Amino acid sequence: MPHQQRIRTEQTCTYLAGIRQPGKILTLAINPLMTPHLVNFDKFLLDNFEVEPSGKQVIDAEKLNEQQHACTEVAWRLMILSRELLQAVRAPVFDPGKILAIKATQNQDGHYAVRIIVPWFDHISTIPLQRAYQAANRVFMAVAKNGTEPRNVALILQQLLDNFIKQTYKMVPGGESTVPVLANAHHKGIPFHHIGKGTYQLGWGKQARLVDRSAVDSDSVIGSRLSTNKGFTATLLEQAGLPAPQHIFVNNEQEAINAAQRIGWPVVIKPVDRERGEGIVVDIHDNNRLLHAYREAHKLSPGVLVEKQVAGVCHRIYVSNGEVLYANSRLAKSVTGDGIHTVAELIETANNTELKKLPWRRLKPCPSDQEALLSLKQAGFDMSSIPAEGERAPLRRIEATAWGGASDDHSDNIHPHNREIAIQAAELFGLDSAGIDLITPDVSVPWHNNGAIINEVNFAPLLGSHRTGFKLEGALAQFIENHVPGNGRIPVEVFVGKKSVPAAIDCQKSYVGKGIDCFMTSHIVNRYPTGDEIHIAAPNLFGKCRSLLMNRVVEALVIAIDSDEFLATGLPIDSINQLTIIDEEIAHAPETGEMENSDRFRQLLRLLQSYIVEPVQDNPE
């Protein structure tokens, strides 16, 4: 089994052995004697992660002996669990990887060295990757020792939360939307790689786009900055003739009192530059509550707004590329009645339901504190009330990240005028991806008929998190479709052999003759569509290919390979539209090690063929 000191990583994030995400090579130490515990471990995976260890991928599996086969069974399960754990810390790992090779270790302790390639990304530390495999190993050992009794499973999951999730989460850049957005891109076959700070390039060349959570590269930097300040946002909305909040910026307690008297009760207190509902207090009807709310808000931000409270519920209207993808009401934390059980019983049932989920995927518990009692009282309930079927009993006044909330989908009944002002607000801030918060009693009624206001404009709004409370698969798919053309790919043709460059140039000319801006690269020759030489600051062919795939004027790419360099670096691409073999003579790159020329060619050909999406061609001459 792998222990901390038994996991080794190799440095390049690359495409190897047919996996569909760039990856790193790890070496695990596996004891084949652990196979009797696979049944219990499979039950643990299915019961808690809803995954089965099917689809095992092993290179040259037919050459393995019985003990080596046993090691692959253990290793594959660790790969499956590690994938799930990495997704939980925002790493977009979807391909479980592949087992490359197995051999007995030199220390003769019964372990085998299992070499695997698993997805990983440039500019992200490998520490989360290594920790995931160490955690998976600990889980396997705990299940092997104590089985899958509920008490043992609960302890295992809590330890995963405390010792892996919490300790590793901040080491992977991104947000809650990162994995759902990229999972959808991966499902559509769109290639992506991490370029830094949680930003990913989706697609290649002219088809490439950048995303960061749900933000896209066409979003205005100025608009994103303005939207973080509630005061600036309201002013800009008002100037544009859109319904905006009525508020006054205050610097001290007396100004807060004066502002409330001027606006009229009830009022809302808000920190001017906080998000996720932090510091917001509603239903303020007197100076005592006003001053208490002001002091709490002032702790979070030097600027505080006193705002006129309007009737209604906040509705998040998500705008993507000029169209509304969904509209949902953002309801306060509540329980939903069934006409049979009391509020207290509904709270207990809801909390028990959450306890059955993975600890890191649980919603905030339903509270029964003084604030909950007050919210219930204001709505005409108490803990002994029996809400009617479908009736909500609120445990908080508003939805906020601190205590969670609920959502209802209103995408099909949003009034066209409300849809129109949401799109207009997003355009006003120059945001192609925006969450527009409309406070309205009824989103099916036009804003100008019921006093609705645009409360906030949100840059990089939450998209696809389990916290949203309703399904977003359709919105996620449409988001990707709106921002990435097709599958995000450009044609890539590869020519192999000592005399591959002339054939590659002819291929490039053919593309250019069809009006396609095709670029050509090789170890020596690099050409613009015009035939002029390209100067690329890259040390090898891998780097040259990567640079051209990041160039948004490249509509097609032709690669001439006359060296075995890719045996050392791996491939920069995960699909080849056409592979043409010109001859079997290739130069030797020192970093690939010593081997016969014919073996080098066969290995290179095998690597390239694992990424072909069209048939291979021999030299047409």
- Structure token digits, residue 501: 């460059």
Q: Which residue has the tokens 């009330």?
A: 385
φ, ψ dihedrals at 248, nearest 5°: -135, 130
Per-residue pLDDT of 135-182, as tens digits, reads 999 999 999 999 999 999 999 999 999 999 999 999 999 999 999 999
- Structure token digits, residue 90: 């925002």
For the chain, give every residue range classified as CATH 3.30.1490.20.
247-307
pLDDT > 90? residue 106: no
Per-residue pLDDT of 306-360, as tens digits, reads 999 999 999 999 999 999 999 999 888 999 999 999 999 999 999 999 999 999 9
pLDDT > 90? residue 3: no
Considering only CA atoms, which of 259, 1, 304, 321 is closest in space to residue 133? 1
Would you state the pLDDT for residue 2? Answer: 43
pLDDT > 80? residue 518: yes
Would you state the pLDDT for residue 557? Answer: 98
Could you count the other beta carbons within 10 Å of the beta carbon of residue 536? 15
Considering only CA atoms, which of 235, 455, 419 is closest in space to residue 320? 419
Contact 492, 573 (CB under 8 A): yes
Considering only CA atoms, which of 211, 208, 207, 204 is closest in space to residue 182? 211
- Structure token digits, residue 21: 């995400």
Per-residue pLDDT of 472-500, as tens digits, reads 778 899 999 999 999 999 999 999 999 99
Give the C-alpha separation, 260 to 36, whole Å: 71
Please provide the distance, in angstroms rounded to a whole number, between the alpha carbons at the two ends of the chain. 53
Q: Which residue has the tokens 């006129």?
A: 308
Average pLDDT (420-444) is 97
- Structure token digits, residue 554: 């490249």
Task: List strand residue ranges (DSSP E) for 173-312, in order.
Answer: 192-196, 199-202, 209-212, 215-216, 247-250, 267-271, 281-284, 304-308
Contact 54, 12 (CB under 8 A): no
What dihedral do alpha carbons 423, 424, 425, 427 form, nearest 10°?
90
Q: Where are the alpha helices (DSSP H) in 458-518?
A: 473-483, 500-513
For the chain, give every residue range classified as CATH 3.40.1190.10.
492-618
Average pLDDT for the chain: 92
Give the C-alpha separation, 191 to 176, whole Å: 20
Residue 406's beta-bridge partner residues?
331
With cut-offs at 50, 70 and 90, classify the pLDDT of residue 1: very low
CA angle 25, 31, 35 (to 5 degrees): 110
φ, ψ dihedrals at 124, nearest 5°: -130, 130
Contact 397, 332 (CB under 8 A): yes
Maximum CA pair distance of the chain?
90
Three-state secondary-structure class, residue 259: helix
Amino acid letter, residue 548 = L
Considering only CA atoms, which of 303, 307, 301, 300 is closest in space to residue 284? 307
Considering only CA atoms, which of 546, 484, 552 is closest in space to residue 517? 552
Would you state the pLDDT for residue 262? Answer: 95
Fold adopted by 492-618: UDP-N-acetylmuramoyl-L-alanine:D-glutamate ligase (3.40.1190)
Amino acid letter, residue 482 = N
Q: What is the DSSP string of 297-349?
A: HHHH-S-EEEEE--SSEEEEEEEETTEEEEEEEEEESEEE--SSS-HHHHHHH
Helix pair 416-428, 230-239: axis angle to 10 deg: 110
Give the C-alpha separation, 422 to 323, whole Å: 9
φ, ψ dihedrals at 425, nearest 5°: -65, -40
pLDDT > 60? residue 470: no
Considering only CA atoms, which of 439, 341, 441 is closest in space to residue 381? 341
Query: Percent of the chain having pLDDT more than 70?
Result: 94
The bridge status of strand 556-561 relative to strand 518-521 is: parallel
Contact 447, 243 (CB under 8 A): yes
Q: Given 3.30.470.10, 3.30.470.20, 3.40.50.2000, 3.40.190.10, which CATH number is that of 313-483?
A: 3.30.470.20
CA angle 260, 261, 266 (to 5 degrees): 55
Give the C-alpha separation, 196 to 125, whole Å: 11
- Structure token digits, residue 593: 């090690």
Would you state the pLDDT for residue 220? Answer: 96
Does the domain formed by 247-307 have CATH 3.30.1490.20? yes
- Structure token digits, residue 172: 């992977």
Would you state the pLDDT for residue 405? Answer: 84
Give the C-alpha separation, 13 to 480, whole Å: 24
For the chain, give every residue range classified as CATH 3.30.470.20.
313-483
Peptide bond connecting 266 to the previous residue in cis, omega within 30 degrees of 0: yes
